[in-house]
Amino acid sequence: MKLFGLSLSSRHARPMSRDKADTLLLLLACVLVLAPHTAHLPLWVTGIGMALLFWRSWITFRGNRLPPRWLLLPIAAASMGGVYMNFKTILGQDAGVSMLALLLIFKLLEMHARRDLFVVVFLGFFLMLANFFYSQSIMTAVLMIAAVVVMLTAQLSFQYTGVVPPLARRLRSGALIVGLAIPLTIVLFVLFPRIQGPLWGMPSDAGSGRSGLSDRMTPGNIAKLALSNDIAFRARFTDAVPPNPKLYWRAIVLDQYDGRAWTRSPSQRDLSVPATLATRGMPVRYQVTQEPGSQPWLFALDMPQYAPQLNDNPVRLTQDRQVQSRRPIDARVRYDVVSYPDYTLHGDANPDDLQNWLRLPSGYNPRTLQLAASLRKNIHDDNEKIATVLTFFGNKNYNFIYTLEPPLLGRDSVDEFLFVTRAGFCEHYAGAFVVLMRAMGVPARVVTGYQGGEINPVDGFMTVRQSDAHAWAEVWIAQHGWIRVDPTAAVSPDRIQRSVVVAAATEPVFGGLINLNIGHDSFVGRLRFRWDAINNGWNQWVLNYTPERQKGLLRSLGFGNIDWQTMTLLMCAIGAIVMLAIAAPLLADRRKVDPVDAVYVALCRQMARRGYPRHPHEGPRAYARRLLRVDATLTEEKKQALRNFLALVEQSRYGRPASSRSDVLSKLKSLLNRIR
């Protein structure tokens, strides 16, 4: 019976030839290496690569000849030209990786000798390293370890000259090689003198796709950010963790409004002398591990006492208590912060100096200005003005709604929000509140950052995600300074008590048929916490193993302030000990050479020097017959000694010797001396 041109019968299919099996294993290893690159390679490169890999697999299955060079060269040249046209260069990260991926695939179509195998293997190893240019996550590391094991197994498979072990045993051998390298790798990772920054450059996932907060706020942009579950930063508290309503992570202060967007005024950007801060009560000490992004903001709870320190990136505390670095945070950073929840900020300010926080653009939001004017006629106390506006937002008769999907607003966005849609996210309420406050004569500004966080019970770190992005207001009250007012709390108190992630985690789906509860006590929630803890440990101790972290670890082990020369000597010493510890069992486990075989090998070497080497297929008897026939220089006495020697070796190997092994060995040595 034939199906699709293939003959099927009831007999067992013939086993695949060794050459085909080894080549397919090599192709599998290359697929594991190239698969992660498809996420960032141009689509046409991925398409050509898949087509060529399929072509190579088909050639292997069918046993056809490899394509001639006159066919491959034009395709390869056109592909290289396509890379140049796509990237306008053949240098650089993306262009170089694209070319290497294509070269690896083309080399698979041109494997004619063993050296071609090594070229493919080395290109594969280099492309494994190139994967870490784009992602250094723990899953990428696990996938690359699997690719290394398969690649080593494929290389070993091509090296066997006799009987080939089963695939499972070869995979164990490849995994054993990787396992033997792990202890020395750990020593080198821990003790090799670290340098600031990465060796080749930051992976592209360090900042790409992580827009984070911006210094420009328009209606809806924080709502879009809140749909992301990406991690913004993690914090570990030295002191007691403040309650969730106190977790306001300050980032950007926006004081200028043009009718559509809130931004930072140029004058405020240049003020680097912080406003006076009077603190009360106990401080909150914590360490922040911030994910990379494209902005220079650092995050601190209200209100930071001083600017944290970063290596090679100076940090300043601005006049309005923003923590800002000189350059964007394009790498994961860790810094210590001390904040005071109970404070008075700029309480001694002169009201005449606060005019910048009273400005509103002309010609915008007339209904809002009319509302503020009507309220201002009857209310003269600033605290009462604040309470009146908050009551307005919280009044259920006005049906204000807190939603992640607010409707689009027109030119007079605050008017439309307050009197038409009445549905918005935190930036709608904060922006409208500040406009009303300014229109009522109260200095006010918008602050953006994050609110809340989620404690991981596994490792004790608080995780703050992009979904926790938030906007609130600050108003200036005489003798009290700048105080925080969150109008969102008047509309949706649950947003302040619980993070968006936790609130959304308890929502049923499909009308309640399936409840995807990922709360703290659910099974899925516990798995999520454990996975987050593993990722955090990877980030803290692998990706963020900085020179300071290395020196701190060595100091905790009792080495004090160690310099790089001493560290290098320590690394070499411990590395040598580890290598000896690995090599000792392997050397002890080596199969001991049989003394009889050793004497037999000595005879074979002597005969080989005379021009008569033993062939691999020859046993002692066949070797003796050939030597006695072709070696005319042997005397009769030496011929007899040679006969007795090889007969005794044969009897010792395959028969039952008449005397003890020591006697056999003694006789063989005596006969060998007579032959010599």
Let me know: does 334 contact 287? Beta carbons within 8 Å.
yes
Torsion of CA 446, 448, 454, 455, to 10 degrees: -90
Catalytic residue among 426, 428, 468, 532: 426
What is the residue type of 229?
N
What is the chain's mean pLDDT, rounded?
Answer: 83
DSSP code at position 543: I
| Per-residue pLDDT, 136 | 84
Rounded to 10 degrees, what is the CA torsion of 335, 336, 338, 339? 40
Higher pLDDT, 648 or 477: 477
550-575 per-position pLDDT tens digit: 887 888 887 777 777 888 888 898 88
pLDDT at 1 over 50: no
pLDDT at 57 over 80: yes
Q: Can you read off the two tokens belonging to residue 227?
A: 């749909």
Contact call for residues 261 and 216 (beta carbons, < 8 A): yes
Mean pLDDT on 335-357: 89
Query: With 80 as the cut, is the pLDDT of residue 515 above it?
Result: no
CB 435 within 8 A of CB 257: yes
| Residue closest to 351 by CA, chosen among 442, 241, 243 | 442
Q: Please give the pLDDT value at position 4.
A: 34
Residues 6+ apart with CB under 8 A from 327: 296, 313
Catalytic residue among 40, 346, 428, 470: 470
Could you confirm whether 604 is annotated as catalytic? no
pLDDT tens, residue by residue, 409-435: 888 999 999 999 999 899 999 999 999
Pair of tokens at residue 470: 């938030």
The pLDDT of residue 589: 61
**Core vs surface per residue 183-204: b (16+ CB within 10 A) or e:** beeebeebbeebeeeeeeebbe
More confident residue, 221 or 43: 43
pLDDT of residue 194: 76
Annotation marks residue 470 as catalytic: yes
Q: For 251, phi and psi rounded to 5 degrees?
A: -135, -65
pTM: 0.69
Torsion, Cα of 239, 240, 244, 249 (10° steps): 0
Known active-site residue 40:
no
pLDDT one-digit tens code per residue, 120-140? 999 999 999 998 888 888 888
Q: What percent of the chain lies above the pLDDT cut of 90?
A: 27
507 pLDDT above the threshold of 80:
no
Highest-pLDDT range among 427-431, 540-544, 589-593: 427-431
Residue 6 confidence (pLDDT): 39
Which stretch of 204-213, 406-415, 552-561, 587-596 has the lowest confidence by average pLDDT? 204-213
Burial class for 575, CB neighbours closer than 10 Å (0-12, 13-18, 19+):
middle
Q: Are 332 and 539 in contact (CB under 8 A)?
A: yes
**What is the rounded radius of gyration, in angstroms, for the C-alpha atoms of the chain?**
38
What one-character-per-residue DSSP string does 95-144 give?
HHHHHHHHHHHHHHTT--SHHHHHHHHHHHHHHHHHHTTT---HHHHHHH
Percent share of the chain, pLDDT over 70: 88
pLDDT at 150: 92
